[in-house]
Structure 1
């Protein structure tokens, strides 16, 4: 009987069911095991030696929970999410909670672009624009998942030629890792068999008070950028790189998010608050460098965002309305979460002055994003 019990436990562990080793995670694998479009969805757990814990699902390669300590050593879940797969598949309100975004993060104007001599039309899902890859972007597909260790998981996905209108068969490999320096590290890699455009990003929504625990306007933000890309009335970049000097877009010195969010400034009106791309100050084109920091003074939680990318989208939760309840039973309300999405610039395929998002056969796309946690 003892042997049978041991074997049964080993089978559970190999299937990714590690709830007995997690101190804080509340999400259960049984609530995430479901076939979606003929592929199996599951829940996986990561943990580092310092006790940071993360739950992820292979539906959209989504982060479901992420537990980090405050200055007193008390842990809280700092990302928004749901406790059942059905709430992600049949979403109401915010679609992109914790997800991987692709093929093209952010917006493409009029859902079209020219590549070489070809004109391509991609799925329009935000008025006339394509947003975050279309109706069935990478957030809405089932990735193949392989748990590499207690603190690392690998996701793979093959995006067929023509998916959502994008050219080329794209092979994507992505790893999530909880390092022992308390960093959530994301490494995206991809290749294509045909010239295409690609702009992957990660879309966790953070609240360093803990998810559902009030406004993020008291979070103190810095962004390492001298300029940003202004947008028009449908949030498409104008093509200008505008200075942040003497504007509410200046986060070169850390400042509370809410201190200027309601200023009489045209770009804030267009975005309903902060929902813009900043042009990062970079010493090199490909190394991992600091992009932004966030500090929550009450808990002391401090998050650094590092990346290889030229831009970062800061979104201040302007469209949350309290109608959707999250995994802990709390409503997700106006400006109670923020996203910091490392990326190439929005609408780059139609903006020749922006860094290119073209990927050709024989090349490898590589994008590193790191969210590193500490306390102050």
Structure 2
């Protein structure tokens, strides 16, 4: 019992820390406190079902002010996707790119997508893509090809050609080389465009693949690179690549002309989704998307017109949602600190108080903070 209470207390502490940093809590904690946004989740789940069934990608825009749960719903749909679909998932938090040169934003997004790509077994980045590459080698090779490869570390022309049919030659070749353990780090750096190849590394690529390779992945090749990776994942048995771009509004301080140029280039993600089973979720504040003077609507109307019709706008909690959250938190605190610590607290009343006290009305993060403060005060009095 004591050990269980220790785990639950740790969950409460992690939730407090996430709130103070303004980030979504860990997946396990999210499961405990998430208040269903049934309508929004139904749309996202429907998108995923459509992409995995048809093999055609798509894009969905989510808007909501800070604290309204954009990041939380992305984490929740990731959890849902891993549970119900065979997919790979990657999330980019745009605030991490604050300070980056605008001309480097698209390559940086691509690198993060590849570096953070993961599957339901928690394999990630280089580990996952190495497994994908090995699965492709087994699929593309006959027994003699496989034996020859293991003995000589050399892909036959037939197998090499099958890899290159995935799409972008540079990416296909790097994926092929990831089947060779000692070339994994080099191939992965090359794949993500982290660096060009040293002359001896380029020679090794040529020796193993039996063909000349170019020196680095160019910015204009990002669409082709993403399509190639999505196809490789598909060939290895996963049905889609989901890419979540969170906090697009983090770019609001970028100079107007540079931001316009970035938004034009940002359509590479949309283009990639048109040509392969890539499902892109983009999250932004309403202000940055359509209301401010430097909004996407003003600076690059083409992107706005393309994505706005399917927009999901996250509103505030209703009083019933605040009550539901109060019940979830009360149960968590009871397991963490014991029944006596929360005895006498009426969850419905507490939830209604939170709903009526927080401004703006129904603000999800504000309601969560109000409820946790109230429960923390009670726990402190009883300890």
What's the TM-score once normalised by structure 2's chain length?
0.26
Whichever of the two has the greater Rg, that structure is 2
**Relative contact order (alpha carbons < 8 A, sep ≥ 6): 1 or 2 greater?**
2
From the two aligned structures, give the one with the greater strand fraction.
1
